[in-house]
Structure 1
Amino acid sequence: MSKENAVYLITGVMAAGKSTVAQLLSERFDKSVHVRGDVFRKMIVNGGMQMSDNLSAEALEQLRLRYRLAANVSDMYAEAGFHTVVQDVIIGPMLEEMVKLISYRPLYVIVLAPRIDIIAARESARKKKGYGDISIESLDAVLQSETPRLGLWLDSSEMTPEETVGMIYKRLETAAKIK
């Protein structure tokens, strides 16, 4: 993997392992930041819109605001010399939008795509639950059928988080770089 700092965008559906993998990846660098996109949603005190399978215009605008904030913060940290790992649920055509929002290069996109049965088991086992009225099935359908095949896609169903990071680290330069 390159020693120059970069932005690493990790996405996938709820319970795909994004937070854990992003944290472990960021810990591999001497100078790094882990930007959690969901933090920007949680900052809204009043007027926040719930995410659902059918987003209202306002909910969609808040989601896009969250992505713009994460992209700007990621760019600023990378410009300051940090390896910046940003993670959020960014699927469907919005993945291309997010790639355009992040101006810093190199940019690496990593899509975690475990099987739906694994996602369901992970979701039921974790304390943190998905938000809103979004079903795992609908998110996975968008991931599989509407998300552009950018970067490195990993079926991490049978991998531990550490093995997933190892695979990312091994395949990053050849499979995930966005120009």
Structure 2
Amino acid sequence: MIDLSAAVIVITGAMAAGKSTVAQRLAERLPRAAHVRGDVFRRMIISGQQEFTPEQATEAMAQLRLRYRLSAATADGYAQSGFTAVIQDVILGPQLADYLALITTRPRFVVVLAPRPEVLQDREEARTKNGYGEWTVESLDYSVRNDTPRLGLWLDNSDQTPDQSVDEILAKLTEARLPD
């Protein structure tokens, strides 16, 4: 087993991919872990918040980058104190590599949850929150599969329970580890 003390694990994927639940369950299985929820940093902006839309307005992109910087710094802070920081956020396309460069902690791991599009659609329809806004399941799934660099462990968790996904992540940590 890889030593995960003072490590950072990034869990990403489209909305409704299972990031929150898998990240929480993963953190619960580790001896000292913090669950860093990227969306918390978005919600901290009380006025002047710009939602990130497919048009990628300049201010919305600046706020997204701020959110990413803050969550990466928070994860590094937890790791520096001997915790495994499990970050969960929607980080897709070329922004994934940019985001991972913000994390100074080593070792770093990344897991991309990539359930089938029809599973994303079913999960989205079953959720109480609507995370897609102007986005469609198809557009985000396309971004995951075609625009996101193939870094770390890619996991089709379509037919898995969250605990099964965590089992697979823990069993395949070497695949999720990024080069130092």
TM-score range, shorter chain: over 0.9
Moved over 4 A (4+): none
TM-score normalised by structure 2 residue count = 0.96
Matched, 1:78 2:79: yes
Map 1:8-157 → 2, pairs under 5 A: 8-157=9-158
Please list the CA deviations of residues 55-86 of structure 1 after superposition, one character each: whole Å capped at 9, or x if unmatched.
10110111011000000000010000001100
2:62 partner letter: E
RMSD: 0.9
CA distance in 1, matches of 2:22, 2:37: 12
Identical aligned pairs, as a percentage? 52
Tell me how far 1:90 sits from its aligned partner: 0.1
Q: Match of 1:162, SS?
A: helix
Q: Residue in 1 aligned with 2:177?
A: 177
Tell me how far 1:131 sits from its aligned partner: 4.8
CA distance in 2, matches of 1:30, 1:164: 18
Tell me how far 1:108 sits from its aligned partner: 0.5
CA distance in 2, matches of 1:51, 1:132: 9
Please list the CA deviations of residues 4-44 of structure 1 after superposition, one character each: whole Å capped at 9, or x if unmatched.
41100000000000000000000011111000000000011
CA distance in 1, matches of 2:4, 2:169: 17
Tell me how far 1:132 sits from its aligned partner: 3.3
Residues 36 and 87, structure 1, Cα contact 8 Å, conserved in 2:
yes
Tell me how far 1:113 sits from its aligned partner: 0.2
Q: Match of 1:3, SS?
A: coil
CA distance in 2, matches of 1:45, 1:154: 35
Structure 2: gaps (5+ residues) = none
CA distance in 1, matches of 2:43, 2:147: 27
